Each structure stands twice: as structure tokens, then as C-alpha cells.
Amino acid sequence: MNKKLYVGNLSYGTNEASLRELFSKAGAITSIAIPLDRVTNTPRGFAFVEMETSADALKAIQLCNGQEVDGRAIRVNEAKPLEARNENTDRGPRRNQNRW
């Protein structure tokens, strides 16, 4: 069963190839996603790496957490489901989405 990991504190210059090189040492990678900012179309400083098995994911956390990638020590942990994140960060209704 695939296991998704959250990779934080990434340099904005980090790309899929450098993440693939690091995480492949822990096992088989199913996918890598580096979200982009909607306005600037630049990386947001984090990524999701999906490992093929739970054992590979655990090994990746142990191997990669704290490793330096492109000059920054990355944080790696199990990604939380979207529902769980929303429950913990409910700040009420959003007002004025216009920032300009």
C-alpha cells in the first residue's frame, strides 16, 4: 500500500530529480509532487513523496529527515489526510480573499 510523505523546508530551487535521487535510497517511489504557488507559479517550499510501501516510507523518514538538500535541512514525516489538517486549523470562514 502506498504511503505519502510530506517533505518540508525545501529550497525553492529543489526539483523532482534531486528528491528522487535522495528518496530512492529508501525504496521504490510511486510519485513526487512539488506544489506551485497559484500567482507566481514558483515552488511553495514543500513536496509530497509517495513511497510504494509503508516500510519504504518509514525508512525514508529515518534516512531523509534532517538531510541537507540544496543547502537546507529538510523535514520529512507522514503526510496528514486533508480532512485531519482542516479540523486542526479551522479558523472560521475566510474573509476578503483579495490581497491586492
Which of 31, 37, 80, 28 shows the shortest CA–CA distance to 55? Answer: 28
What pLDDT is attached to residue 40? Answer: 94
- The average pLDDT across 36-64 equals 96
What pLDDT is attached to residue 83? Answer: 75
The pTM assigned to this predicted structure is 0.81
Q: What whole-number percentage of the chain has pLDDT above 70?
A: 83
Query: Which of 1-15, 37-51, 75-89 bottoms out in mean pLDDT, i.e. has the lowest?
Result: 75-89
Looking at the DSSP bridge assignments, the partners of residue 99 are none
State the sign of the Cα–Cα–Cα–Cα dihedral 50, 51, 53, 54.
Answer: negative
- The average pLDDT across 42-53 equals 97
Separation between Cα atoms, residue 97 and residue 75, nearest integer Å = 30
Q: Is 16 helix (H, G, I), strand (E, B) or coil?
A: helix
3-81: CATH class: alpha beta
